[in-house]
Amino acid sequence: MDRISNELAHGRRISGKPEFYWGWSGVAGRLRAGRRAGMFVAAGGLAPGKKALEIGCGTGIFTHLTAESGADITAIDLSPELVELARGGGAVPNAKFLVMNVEKLDFRDASFDCVYGSSVLHHLDLAKALPEMLRVLRPGGTLVFTEPNMLNPQIMVQKNVPFIKKAMGDSPDETAFFRWGLAGRLGEYGLKDIRIEPFDFLHPWTPGPLTGAARRIGAVLERLPLLREIAGSLLVTAEK
């Protein structure tokens, strides 16, 4: 199957318990989601009067959190099953959920102040998706994404060993990024002020009682020049 067919099949396969596969359930998962949402709001300048496009919204976890900023959120996903779950997650007056392929966005040029998403770029054909994202982003607008870090030992094994990849609920085509390689790719599209920073040592499966200690240790590790490079995630920001 091609990439789009694989992603559609993936959405159907995980729709029974997507948060489990994505690591957003449990105490640690909710804390990790809240932190990422805060990054999208801060780096993307989300506030009342701003318009933002969320790519790969899944079940709407980040849509609900970022909508608290007061920005108008349009959240899209390729999977009809996941969008249906998002719509059933409760009304959000300043957000709407649409089934849409990021490679063929049905929006006018320069429609949004920010385009953001959690763990979605590594699912995409960037050569097809990035031009569309940039087309609908206004001049001076911001891209903000959080992505898996290929230098993290677990991520490296999970994304490159087929039977582990399948067991962890990954789609066949998804990968992860080395930050310097991704920065180079973004630079090819004329983006400015590209910043990619490693973060997050809080594992989603951390037991609830240990979460506080794990967060404190992780905060220290994120400040250490070499160790921070193997953090689990990358915060990606860039300006059009």
Does residue 90 carry a pLDDT above 90? no
User: Do 89 and 66 contact (CB within 8 A), yes or no?
Assistant: no
What is the pLDDT confidence band of residue 163, given thresholds at 50, 70 and 90? confident
Helix (H) or strand (E) holding 53: strand 51-55
Residue type, 81: E
Residue 222 to residues 113, 145, 231, Cα–Cα distance (Å)? 29, 18, 7
Does residue 18 carry a pLDDT above 80? no
Q: What is the pLDDT of residues 20-69, one digit of tens each?
A: 667 788 899 999 999 999 999 999 999 999 999 999 999 999 999 999 99
Give me the pLDDT at residue 30, please: 94
Does residue 91 carry a pLDDT above 90? no
Q: What is the pLDDT of residues 1-15, one digit of tens each?
A: 688 887 777 778 777
Per-residue pLDDT, averaged over 123-140, amounts to 96
Give me the pLDDT at residue 12, please: 81
Does residue 218 carry a pLDDT above 80? yes
Task: Write down all domains in the chain, each with its CATH number in brackets.
Answer: 3-239 (3.40.50.150)
Mean pLDDT score across all residues of the chain: 93
Phi/psi of residue 206, nearest 5 degrees: -60, 125
What is the pLDDT confidence band of residue 169, given thresholds at 50, 70 and 90? confident
Give me the pLDDT at residue 1, please: 60
How far apart CA 203 and CA 20 sit, in angstroms, is 13
- pTM for the model stands at 0.93
Residue 141 burial (10 A CB sphere; 0-12, 13-18, 19+): buried
